[in-house]
Amino acid sequence: MLVVLVIMGFVAFFIVPILWLLLAPTKDGRALLLGNPFSFGGFDTLAENFHSLVAYQSGIIWVWLGNSAFYSLAALVITLVISIPAGYALALTEFRGRRLLLAVTLIVMLLPNTALVLPIFLELSAAHLIGSPFSVILPFSFFPFGVYLTYIYFSTTVSRDLLDAARIDGSGEFRVFAQIAMPLATPVIALVGFFSFTANWNNYFLPFVMVPGAKAPIQVGLAELLANVPQFNPTNASSTTIELPVLALATLIAVAPVLIIFLFSQRFLVTGMTAGGTKG
């Protein structure tokens, strides 16, 4: 009985804020603060909040969303092009420095992303890339966790005998990778892609430093909206204020792309997460 109560407590702890967030955009600011926090407001109010959000700086939220999509997808392509072959090479080929490279990958994977922002900023500043899309896309593409996931997958799932048989039949290393290893790697490609896209989409600090203004992604845009909410920033002197329901709606819109991708790709994600636990 105690275990059930503890589980229910944790469920309520996580579900209640989400439920509040889903209902908040259907109310006006007064109803949200003074009314029942878990009551449904109305579709008319939801439409008004949506129009207020779109009207903010002439619909800049769509620009922010477009920036996030561009940065995340461009970095995702580079990540997959680099991570999958790198993980394959670490798992199924022998070369000098292989163990050292794997150890370095693990060490870098454990470093917090915020600790790397300053050296990355200095490096990109020296290359005169600050303010350009490359200042976000290139750091986003650095995804050692994807290399490690691919390494684990190929180490535990793909049989070396299968690859050796292809080499005996005369296939070159590139053909073995492209025609045998890659088709078997669909689950881990989906897994690396999802984790990379989600991390890039939700990244705030790096884009905040690299691309201010209209080039910012949605996460930096949400911080700007938050700064214009009187309840969070009473000293704000801006002529434009954002109501809490409008901010809640913007948050839901920012989360929606990742949620949609998860819903349509969860079959591959589950396969990728469980494939490494069995030996092929």
- Residues 118-163 have pLDDT tens digits of 899 999 999 999 999 999 999 999 999 999 999 998 888 877 778 7
Is the model's pLDDT at 39 over the cut of 60? Answer: yes
Give the phi and the psi of residue 170 in degrees, each rounded to 5.
105, 5
What confidence tens digit (pLDDT) does each residue in 176-212 have?
888 888 888 888 888 899 999 999 999 999 999 999 8
pLDDT at 280: 44
What confidence tens digit (pLDDT) does each residue in 226-246 have?
888 877 777 665 667 888 999
Token pair of 15 as six digits: 């579900």
If pLDDT is split at 50, 70 and 90, which confidence band does 115 have?
A: confident
Name every residue whose Cβ is closer than 8 Å to that of residue 139 and which is 6 or more positions away in sequence.
Answer: 116, 120, 124, 206, 210
Q: Rounded distance, CA 138 to CA 74, Å?
A: 9
Token pair of 106 as six digits: 């693990």
pLDDT at 272: 57
Question: What CATH number has the domain spanning 60-275?
Answer: 1.10.3720.10
Mean pLDDT of 35-45: 88
Is the model's pLDDT at 275 over the cut of 60? Answer: no
